[in-house]
Amino acid sequence: MTTIITVLTEGFADWETALLNAGARSYLGIDTKFATPGGKPVTSAGGLRITPDLAVEDIDPATLDALVVCGGTAWASDAPPDIAAVLVAARDAGKTVAGICDGTLALARAGILDNVAHTSNSADNLTPTGYAGAAHYKDQPQAVVDGRIVTAPGTAPVSFMGGVLETLGLRNGDLDFYLGLYGAEHRAA
C-alpha cells in the first residue's frame, strides 16, 4: 500500500496539507500517517489537536512512499526541529520528499534544494538557511516538481497535492478532475 507520512510541528499550518492527505486517503486509498518531533501531540494554527502516529526520529524510509513537511511557525523559529537526517535518507532511498510554505526551510537546511528546481514563499525566505540552491529557485505561485522533490508556497495547497500525487505515479483523469475542482475558484471569471 502507498504510504504518505506528513511531518507536523506545534502551530502547523493545517490547511497546507489537508487536501493532500484527505484526497489521498479518502479517494485513492493511500495510507496517511503523521509524525512529530519526539512523537509529541501538537496543535495547529487553527487549534486542531493531533496525536501523531510516530516520532519523526522513528521514520524508516523503507516504510513510506512520500515524506511531506507541512509548514508552520516552528520552521522559521530560532530553534527549528532538525529533521535533516530523515529527509536525506528518504531522498536517498528514492522516495518523494515534499515541503510547503515554511516546510521548505527544513528541505533547504538538509541540502535537498541545493541542486533541484524549487519554490517557497519567496527566495528571501530560504536565504537564512544558508542553502546553496538560490540559482534553482522558481518564483511562481504553483508547486514545483523536480524528480521526486516537490515544493510549494503556502498559498498553493492544490498544486502541491497534485505534485506529490504525480510523483507517486497517480496523475490521471481522476486527479486532474480533483485538481480542477479545488482550483476552480482561481479561474478567471
Catalytic residue among 56, 97, 101, 150: 101
Q: Is residue 70 flagged as an active site residue?
A: no
Query: What pairing do the DSSP bridges indicate for beta strands 49-50 and 42-43?
Result: antiparallel
Determine contact, residues 120/139, Cβ cutoff 8 Å.
no
Positions annotated as catalytic residues are 101
